[in-house]
Amino acid sequence: MSKVLNFNTLKRKTMTIVMNDEEQTKLSVCVPKKEMLDNMIALKDVKENEESVNMLYEVCAELINNNREGKTYTVEELKEMLEFEDLLVFVQYFTDFINEVQSSKN
């Protein structure tokens, strides 16, 4: 008898973050789809200029908005809530999370 792989019942890994808002909103950020990963990889050489900073906020909003709770933030909301350095820390933690997911067995 063969096993059945049901994608609807797979336990998906998440990274928990607590937002810097009044409610200290706790989010379970999901593993992104390929397009989001490609956008994240494009950040590799980000410099601190206006275009790159805006790109960083856009990609981080996309990644953060990919959460189980369904909570979304606009780029403008993130700019009010998080500084450039906060986003760099988020990207590093998220990269570590993705590497952990890739190296673990399901």
pLDDT tens, the chain, 106 aa long: 688 988 888 888 999 999 999 999 999 999 998 888 888 877 776 666 777 788 899 999 999 999 999 999 999 999 999 998 999 899 999 999 999 998 886 5
pLDDT of res. 14: 95
pLDDT of res. 58: 93
Take residue 97 and report the two structure tokens written for it. 């999370």
Our CA angle for 103, 66, 31, nearest 5°, is 10
pLDDT of res. 42: 76
pLDDT of res. 5: 86
Query: CB-based contacts of 106: which residues, under 8 Å, 6+ apart?
Result: 10
pLDDT of res. 39: 81
pLDDT of res. 102: 87
pLDDT of res. 50: 72
pLDDT of res. 75: 96
Residue 55's nearest CA partner among 68, 45, 70 is 45
